[in-house]
Structure 1
């Protein structure tokens, strides 16, 4: 017993189970738990924009625009839904199985960041595959929405735009979900504007996709990327940390009312 306690950290975890191993297992459980929801979404997206996007372009006069560019809003709002779902769906189950609140909050932050990176990578690949198909077919891959990038060959800017927007919307969703779970419906509803801060900040700093035209019509200009990119990262990081602080003292059961 003395030998076990003398090893740093060994007294807090049984046997050979380390904190990092537990964290990996929690992350794996989150991935498995949300895989049907995420997989179903991407299947619908693929079918919708391979079929519906092509039909819409043919009806409007020809395939002269990127089909994938019509769907840039969908991953943001779906990602926000993932953030909202995460705590109500998994918190009580994981804590009841011995996962600490601190580890759950850290795992959520890592999961949301990884999901944002994965979704941004999917969007990068979708544009590249589409560009190859359009080039072979002699079609134009014009972009219908304003972006940080002007051509789909600008892979770094595509990844940056989608990663930042999706991360911010996921962080917003996570805060909203925590607010309703911890404080109940009415207080959660009152706190809703605070939960939307990271998503609003990302939209105002990046000025990309559907909201860009509305903002530009008011005379508002996007700040330089050297300001906008760190700004979105900072707001998203602070939002994830706020979620961590809210979860640490949270009761196992959701609040009533």
Structure 2
């Protein structure tokens, strides 16, 4: 396997699972992707911010324990972000409340951006910067992807110049193809759309590939989409065929559904 250098920029949080679990775990889109890339054997760097609190220390320690480089993790005033989650009997998760805490207003500085430009690939999660980082990196011809499903504010979203854009269309097949077409029309070079139980589809305007989902006993779907992104990116940046990239994403997402949280870790009580 080719060992690649990935950077993941954006959100982190403490996922607080309500009863009957009543436990908390470290998570967040960007953190989950960074950890999963490290678990795949790649050099993984996390760029983001935590609060000057116990939760911030826990987040940094968990990233380090999972092989992620936290040189560029900042501590900022305020609390570390958290998300309150309920899990349905079928394993689906419901976000009850989110507080982005120290993630709000975080921006990579010029020195950070200089480092990001040396990476094989940069993935952006939740980031409320009006698209500034995406624009700076794509203007420098850096390979960049973004998950537009984790940020609902249109001012922070955009696909122009992205090497890869990730999105979710739920279970709808027709809706996925329509979204795929729109993302490419808006300027992404490659669009990847997940379709829940109907699998996923990817295309670049010339090639379109779809794969079905993988049936596994579902414990919790938290972080499954993030694991999909990591599996897909590891294969894509290594120049594997598009079908293999989708299968890699699918298989890593399925594995994540078999345990609580975005990656295996020791939970803490609420």
The structure that is strand-richer by fraction is 2
**Structure 2-normalised TM-score?**
0.24
TM-score by length of 1: 0.25
Q: Which has the higher contact order (CA 8 A, sep 6+)?
A: 1
Point out the structure with max Rg over C-alpha: 1
